[in-house]
Each structure stands twice: as structure tokens, then as C-alpha cells.
Amino acid sequence: MLQQSISKLISEDQQIQYLLHLADNALILSHRNSQWCGHGPILEQDIALTNIALDQLGQARNLYQYAALLITEKTGIPTTEDQLAYLRDVGEFKNCLIAELPNGDWGQTVLRNFLMGSYQFFLYQELQQIATGQLKAIADKSIKEITYHVRWSADWVVRLGDGTTESHARMEQALELLWSYTGEMLEPSDFEQELIGTQSSYIKAAWEAKIAAVLAEANLDHPKNDWMQLGGKKGIHTEHLGYLLAEMQFLQRAYPGLEW
């Protein structure tokens, strides 16, 4: 009954949908990045990516906490960040599809972080100007972390793209795979229109300029295809998210209310 009431409110309230979209992007990308812990190519970069995953998890927590507060105020039903992260099903998640794709090799992982991080940078930069209250505070804190994430991932894109024959080929393959998932980030959905819709053109132009500059420095050809994968913001996901959530949500679903 609790989850049905929460789900109904989420489907009706655009502000909550928007917060969950931002939180889901951060949580799912954080989980993917955390899977590299202990498997990075060198220890220093293994630790760097693990710290990035922790930053993203912190961003997700802040956004889920705010969404939970709004849900509690509007329904009178106490709601927590854990419920929003661990007790929603695949169709209720609103993250972009690119976040849930398997990690692939190191090149694919750092390229995804660069593509998503660059979008988040310009988005949160705008939220600093137009958002108020708690969302502005979250944007102010997050932009500092995201600035580092973009710099770190861009350095790796250039390093691999302009590196050896093999690293260049792998980055080309990663770019071909991921590019068709980038359009979804840049096209605002219904729940984004009210807050960010008027700024979407600027965000898209700034993102495209940033991507083009780094790809040129990395000696990578800019993709020309404009057909894009869509659906994540509407709860239509790839099979990969189901497997990810089954792993991530297991403890909370097996032992409801579990606390350490």
C-alpha cells in the first residue's frame, strides 16, 4: 500500500519526478563505477574512480532525501531515501539508458563518465542559477565534484584516444557504442520542461562544444549519426538495469528495514 501511494504521487508530481531522475542517474552511474573497485588498470586510478563513485552516491543520497521529504509532506506517509533507492522496480527508475549499460573496458567506462559528466556539469551550472532552496544547495555542492569528474575523464579520453593503435581503436569502438545513447540526456522530458526546459538549448550547445573539443584533442572522429536511443526517463529500460537492481537491492528486499 505504501509503495502504491508513493508511485501514484511520483507519477503525478513533476518536481518529484525530476528529483528522482537526477538521483537515479547519479545512483546507477555510481553503482557501475563502483564495480571497478579493485579492478582498475593501476591503483591510483582505481582509487580515483572509486572516489568518483562515492561522490555520485552522495549526490544521489541528497536528491533522494529531498524527494523523500516532499513525498512525506504531500502524502503524510513517512518515506526514506532507502525506499526510493531499494524498493522501486525497473519501470519506476528514470535514469538515462547510458548510465545502466555494462562497463565494458576501461575506455568505455571513462568515455561514459565524460559524456554524462559534461552534461551534468552544464545542467548543474544552470540549476545553480535557476533553482532555489534545497535543490540549489545540492547543485552548489555537486558542481564542485562534477568539475573534477569531467577533468579526470576528459584526460583519460585524450590519453587513450591519442595513445597507442589499440587504445585508439578501443575508444573508437566505445564512442560508436555510446553515442546513440547521448541524445536522451539533451532532450528534456515533460517533468524537466518546467524547470530546465528554457535552458535546454544552451545546455545542449555547451555540451556539444565541450565534446567536440575533447574528441578533436583525442584524435577521435566525431560521430555523424543522429539516431538516438530513448526511453529511460519514461521507465523503459534495457535488460541491464534489471540485473543491476537485482544485485543492488537484494539485501533491502530480502530483509526489509535492515540497518547496519
Question: Phi and psi dihedrals of 88, rounded to 5?
Answer: -95, 150
Tell me what pLDDT residue 2 has: 46
The per-residue pLDDT for range 123-133, each reduced to its tens digit, is 999 999 999 99
Alpha helix positions (H), 101-248? 106-130, 133-161, 165-178, 183-186, 190-196, 200-217, 239-248
The per-residue pLDDT for range 119-162, each reduced to its tens digit, is 999 999 999 999 999 999 999 999 999 999 999 999 999 999 99
Q: How far is it, in rounded angstroms, from Cα 69 to Cα 241? A: 26
Contact 161, 214 (CB under 8 A): no
The per-residue pLDDT for range 47-82, each reduced to its tens digit, is 999 999 999 999 999 999 999 999 999 999 999 999
> Which whole-number Å values give the CA distances from 106 to 84, 103, 177, 244, in the listed order?
30, 8, 14, 19
Closest C-alpha among 37, 24, 12 to residue 233: 24
CATH class name, domain 2-254 = mainly alpha
This prediction's pTM = 0.93
CB atoms within 10 A of CB 38: 8
For the chain, domain boundaries = 2-254
